[in-house]
Chain A
């Protein structure tokens, strides 16, 4: 394992950004989000979670993929792509797990070329969490706040320095390219990091235990709960906004739209939300999910029942973003608790 002293981080940003686009958690007006790093940006590696997860790096909120032109009644269509190598530094382990869940959707047959190319071109560096907060519950999904198996490089914040461990070929390659800034980590330093990791995991697991969260059986329970009255107590307070879906590391619904000026333009895909009234509204005026009740149910059923039935895993990583940001506290942690407490058939 390697380490980098924190004084050298500015040099690291410079060096990394000279070889690729470097996404870092950047603070602006009190909000920390991943953004392509520029000289003078205020980097915040301490913020537990960015507001928007780094899914927008692998699956941008708006992504133009085609240009078109109508000329002399002829239609010209051309693929359009604007990417290249990038480094994502500072993703939390839950964020990395979120990307792994997106992989299952976008990389399954038929493979989504736009997404897979972005995934190939990026190197993901995860920073372990030393102090998860009350909204965190990643251990409930068998994740560890101190470890991201899906990351190319794993980094632990040890105070004055970051302990650095390459976990993949891509990670080794990037490590080699910044070797000049790294030092070998001593045995006891490595040991300290692993101890910290264990401690943090144990602490969060204990907190989850105390809150009574146990999602493990929910995917089975929910199979019989489509018609349950339980949804009544959730949907009424929902405002129908898209915060939960847009800040969720695993939500991936999108829309496809065109823009144009005169006879030229482009086609893009952009995030969309199953919480929005027009998400399933058809041209005929029919809407299979006409009210907030069906939409709220869809969101939670998809994460906790439908996705697991297809991929074996919950589409939730316990990052706590919806817990922190839902304006009316309609978060997945509460839903898990409520639906887990109701045995099938007892309704």
Chain B
């Protein structure tokens, strides 16, 4: 993966120095092993900062979402997109919150990213200096030496079910296509569907009771692109500010509904949730049902296609008895 990082640095330096773009969004490495965060490099040749760009198993934040803030002030922006980021980008296009011609996309084939919580739970976090990817393996680097393990055991759950590891949209692809081998993604949804109503309610009530209403799930979502969010509007105040179960249910139901048919299943909501609410399983319920009722649809694959809940057919089926 080092190699890919070098290509990224070169290409960023080139496009900035040639004046093709006035901003490059990539990732930079923080001081701790799990920290790879969005980096914004601008100016001619990036003021020498392009060398700080990185690509490793922790470059998980979706960069396309930043276009909502950055694009209006820029002539042209380049960014690196993994498969999920590319879907997010297309969704932003479909929602008319970005212009394709103002963006240069460098595609990154992604073999899955590492969940720091899984590393910690396996007891590998203490004294860890660096985690390197070597094919199907991870190399954990400590002062005392190295340790190897199967990468798959440490990937984010969302990566294990990823169906688009390779970007569906790009201007230039960096590297060979990654293998596509997703696990079944609706398993958890199906498990929940098997429960009875009261069990399901108790399950979700327990999850929601942990919600601290930080709005990270909304703010990380590439489909949550409204200029003014309904939850922020003071008048009328739809969402009460008290951390009460009923209000949290309202928040989480409406949040999921607002992205129904537009959720690209990138799983960022689940990743950023500080209290482990399986939010992706809410969004996936909508995806699964829409697929069943109105035909298979993958948000973010084709920005020209209409999202399923903003269109209809006259002979659509209904999930209620029509008479």
Q: Are B272 and A327 in contact (CB under 8 A)?
A: yes
Instruction: Indicate if B303 sits at the interface (CB-CB under 8 A).
Output: no
Q: Considering residues B33, B70, B206, B219, which has the most beta carbons from chain A within 10 angstroms of its beta carbon?
A: B219
**Using an 8 Å CB-CB cutoff, how does the interface string of B199-210 with A read, 1 for contact, 0 for none?**
000000011001
Within 8 A of B (CB), among A145-195: none
Residues in B with CB closer than 8 Å to A255 are 241
Residues in A with CB closer than 8 Å to B61 are 237, 327-328
In the bound complex, what is the Cα–Cα distance between A233 and B246 (angstroms)? 39
Given contacts A135-B32, A325-B274, A327-B216, contact A259 B242 (CB under 8 A): yes
Partner of B37, one of A271, A292, A328: A328
Chain A interface extent, by class: 35 or more
A316 to chain B, nearest CB (A): 17
In the bound complex, what is the Cα–Cα distance between A61 and B245 (angstroms)? 13
Q: Are A239 and B276 in contact (CB under 8 A)?
A: no
**Using an 8 Å CB-CB cutoff, how does the interface string of A129-155 with B read, 1 for contact, 0 for none?**
001011100000000000000000000
Residues in A with CB closer than 8 Å to B128 are 134
Instruction: Indicate if B48 sits at the interface (CB-CB under 8 A).
Output: no
Q: Are B275 and A62 in contact (CB under 8 A)?
A: no
Within 8 A of B (CB), among A305-347: 323, 325, 327-330, 333-334, 337
Within 8 A of B (CB), among A5-33: 28-31, 33
The binding surface of chain A is classed by DSSP as: loop
A61 and chain B: residue at smallest CB distance: B243
B-binding segment of A69-77, A101-109, A272-280: A272-280
Partner of A329, one of B37, B125, B216: B37
A52 and chain B: residue at smallest CB distance: B212
Q: Are B210 and A31 in contact (CB under 8 A)?
A: yes
B38 and chain A: residue at smallest CB distance: A237
Partner of B241, one of A52, A241, A272: A272
Given contacts A239-B220, A240-B219, contact A29 B242 (CB under 8 A): no
In the bound complex, what is the Cα–Cα distance between A53 and B28 (angstroms)? 29
In the bound complex, what is the Cα–Cα distance between A115 and B242 (angstroms)? 18
Instruction: Indicate if A296 sits at the interface (CB-CB under 8 A).
Output: no
B250 to chain A, nearest CB (A): 13
Residues in B with CB closer than 8 Å to A240 are 219
Instruction: Indicate if A270 sits at the interface (CB-CB under 8 A).
Output: yes
Q: Are A242 and B32 in contact (CB under 8 A)?
A: no
B23 and chain A: residue at smallest CB distance: A236
Residues in B with CB closer than 8 Å to A231 are none
Instruction: Indicate if B317 sits at the interface (CB-CB under 8 A).
Output: no
Instruction: Indicate if A211 sits at the interface (CB-CB under 8 A).
Output: yes
Q: Are B38 and A31 in contact (CB under 8 A)?
A: no
Q: Are A62 and B274 in contact (CB under 8 A)?
A: no
B49 and chain A: residue at smallest CB distance: A233
Q: Are B240 and A242 in contact (CB under 8 A)?
A: no
Instruction: Indicate if B306 sits at the interface (CB-CB under 8 A).
Output: no
B212 and chain A: residue at smallest CB distance: A246
B272 and chain A: residue at smallest CB distance: A327
Instruction: Indicate if B234 sits at the interface (CB-CB under 8 A).
Output: yes
In the bound complex, what is the Cα–Cα distance between A233 and B41 (angstroms)? 9
Residues in A with CB closer than 8 Å to B70 are 236
Partner of A328, one of B33, B38, B206, B214: B38
Residues in A with CB closer than 8 Å to B66 are 236-237
Partner of B234, one of A28, A51, A135, A278: A278
In the bound complex, what is the Cα–Cα distance between A281 and B237 (angstroms)? 14
Q: Are B32 and A134 in contact (CB under 8 A)?
A: yes
Q: Are B220 and A242 in contact (CB under 8 A)?
A: no
Q: Are B274 and A51 in contact (CB under 8 A)?
A: yes
Residues in B with CB closer than 8 Å to A242 are 212-216
Residues in A with CB closer than 8 Å to B33 are 134
Q: Are B243 and A237 in contact (CB under 8 A)?
A: no
Q: Are A28 and B210 in contact (CB under 8 A)?
A: yes
Q: Are A133 and B276 in contact (CB under 8 A)?
A: no
Instruction: Indicate if A97 sits at the interface (CB-CB under 8 A).
Output: no
Instruction: Indicate if B134 sits at the interface (CB-CB under 8 A).
Output: no
Q: Are A241 and B214 in contact (CB under 8 A)?
A: yes
Within 8 A of B (CB), among A221-242: 233, 236-237, 239-242
B228 and chain A: residue at smallest CB distance: A277
Q: Are B241 and A33 in contact (CB under 8 A)?
A: no
Q: Are B216 and A30 in contact (CB under 8 A)?
A: no
Instruction: Indicate if A257 sits at the interface (CB-CB under 8 A).
Output: yes
Given contacts A237-B38, A329-B30, contact A243 B242 (CB under 8 A): no
3 A-B pairs with least C-beta separation: A241-B216, A327-B272, A329-B37
Subset of 27 A-B contacts with CB under 8 Å? A31-B276, A52-B212, A61-B243, A133-B125, A133-B126, A134-B125, A236-B66, A236-B69, A236-B70, A237-B39, A237-B40, A239-B216, A240-B219, A241-B218, A241-B219, A242-B214, A242-B216, A257-B242, A270-B242, A272-B241, A292-B69, A325-B274, A327-B220, A327-B268, A327-B272, A328-B38, A333-B31
